[in-house]
A and B are shown apart, each in its own frame.
Chain A
Amino acid sequence: MSEISLNNVCKSFGGVQVIDGISLDIESGELVVFLGPSGSGKSTLLRMIAGLETIDEGELTIGGKRSEHLAPGQRDVAMVFQNYALYPHMSVRENMAFGLKNIRMPKDEIERRVNDAARILEMDALLDRRPAQLSGGQRQRVAIGRAIVKEPAAFLFDEPLSNLDAALRVRTRVELAELHQRMQSTMIYVTHDQTEAMTLADRIIILNDCQIEQIGTPMDVYLYPNSRFVAGFVGSPGMNFLQAELSGTAGKQQAKLGDGSQIELSVDLGPGAYELGIRPEAVRVSATPAATTGTATVVERLGERTLVHLRLEDGTELIAQDGGHSEVKPGDLVHLTFDTSQLHLFDDKGRAHHAK
């Protein structure tokens, strides 16, 4: 049974529609990430599940119980806020116990839950400190601890790592993944950072323009984006897009690029003008003449790989990936090969068609 189910939910602020008929089922124990650019409605959707925003239309079920009319505290969900929202005048212990005291939970049970959560998050020594005496990472743990003690049906995370520095973000991300594996609880995680989404999610829900653009596992949305938006949004660096003219018969076609070069591919599409998408790792630098050539403009050395920014003859810009010890320098003329199995064509409506 789904732990959380949304059925055709809508939300508007004034006359502006921000969530437009979204339906979604989240399974028990699943970690689902809402991913999308600013203004896509991901945080609003999370807040609607939490009860911090009303649901104008549609149904919300949490743990089998209709919940759209319930107050936030009665929905059996716990939220971790972007700014942690730890009460500054309370100790860590009081912060964690606050929600439990409000429902008149017996003191010994509160004590047990707080101590258990502190042990899970390895913050036993912090319990008597105030939030101001904690580092950013420690505050983040307390915010998670405050959610854990409630033993909710689902955890809601609203961009919880965005206030941490880069190194701490990576570490906390791993800790969150471990926590999820250990607790096997349902989690919804909102982020605009696709690396977080890819590394944490069982399923990613990509939102764009008030609607769900795609639902899938991280590799699904990465390898088989179903729209140009998803293709461009997921992946860092982003997918390369080139104008292409498709000709030939189904199963054996040629895509003619702007610089005149031709790529052979197989895709279920008729002839016509399309946008061709290919990820940087599917564009390789070749020592011998290959599909096309480009002039290197910028070379980014990332250690284990090198990203080569190129300009093709017709001015199209492209990123190719080379090995860590690449010898390409800016200004070099570079031969490029395309992995045709990783090509995507996008029609004029932005729908994706994947090469075979």
Chain B
Amino acid sequence: MTPTTIKRINWVGGIFTVFTVICAILWAFPIYWGIISSIKPEDEVIRPYIELWPETLTFEHYWFALTETQIGTWYINSIVTAVGVTVLTVSTSLFAGYAISQLRFPGRTALWWLILASFMVPTQVLIVNHFVLMADLKMLNSWAGIILPQLIHPVIIIVYKQFFDQVPKDFREAAAMDNASEWDILFKIYIPMNWGVTTALSIVIFIWAWNAFLWPFLAVTKTEMMTITVGITQVFDAFGVYYARQLSAAVLAGFPVALAYLLFQRRVTQAITLSAGIKG
């Protein structure tokens, strides 16, 4: 490699680094702005110019969100529905992915194509149907009503199928020689061998479910049944909406997800890569 080439590469690298740093700042700025605004007094928030640091630091909005709203109930609703969606989505997708990957039964190919086809349909298209169905089943304003329509994640089935496809068939045959039932093969061989995928997918589904807004917003009208993302819309009083209060509620809403991300950063990145690879 000649010195000129090295120099050229360094230039390209430098430009690329600057570009990515700018992108990162642009992406992170709203989060920064939200957090900073939540610790400013309301009059500072509504000033028509940008102040990157608060003149007066206050936690009164957090106090309001924690004491004057039903945020505790919303947290519980979010935890229950997000955990419910995660557990049910992972378990059903796992069984479906295993069946399509490893078992031979009539209609297997048709089922696989159906799953692939359903993957092409955006959830928003089905949202009216879901609403009518949940209303007919008297499930609106209930945890089940929030959870059930959110279980449709064909991408998770596809990811599981792909991973199960990649398990060398020797393991399955060795397990068959070891008198293992189909149940044993799934739970004692295939799942433990793909434990990393299950963990990664669980985290990412939990984050999706926690952050879900559109469906919980439609499915719930009672304040005490709202999830925290929907609950943010209820942070107002008789004098109207206070942006700083809403932002403090938003920060509180995002806190568990941010914490989960910090704790399981590697797994989350892995899961996003897995699902993004398929989503295209």
Query: Which A residues form the contact surface with B (CB < 8 A)?
Result: 50-52, 71-74, 77-79, 81-83, 85, 87-89, 98-99, 102-103, 146
Contacts and interface: CB of A to CB of B under 8 A. Distances in A.
B59 interface: no
A81 B174 CA distance: 8
B195 interface: yes
Contacts of A85: 168, 170-171, 173-174
A99 B177 contact: yes
12 contacts: A50-B177, A51-B176, A51-B177, A71-B179, A73-B178, A81-B174, A89-B192, A89-B195, A98-B175, A99-B177, A99-B178, A103-B179
A98 B193 contact: no
B177 A87 contact: no
B184 A87 contact: no
B170 A81 contact: yes
Interface residues of B, number: 18
B171 A71 contact: no
B108 interface: no
Interface of B is mostly: helix
Given A52-B173, A71-B176, A98-B178, 6 more contacts: A51-B177, A85-B170, A85-B173, A87-B193, A98-B180, A99-B179
Contacts of B177: 50-52, 72-73, 77-79, 99
A102 B195 CA distance: 21
Contact of A83 (B170, B180, B181, B192): B170
B174 A79 contact: yes
Nearest to A79: B177
A87 B171 contact: yes
Contacts of A74: 179
A141 to B, nearest CB: 16
B175, B178, B180, B188: residue with the most chain A Cβ atoms closer than 10 Å: B178
Contacts of A77: 177
Interface in B200-247: none
Contacts of B192: 87, 89
Interface string B240-265: 00000000000000000000000000
B189 interface: yes
Interface in B162-199: 168, 170-171, 173-181, 184, 188-189, 192-193, 195
B178 A102 contact: yes
A98 B176 CA distance: 11
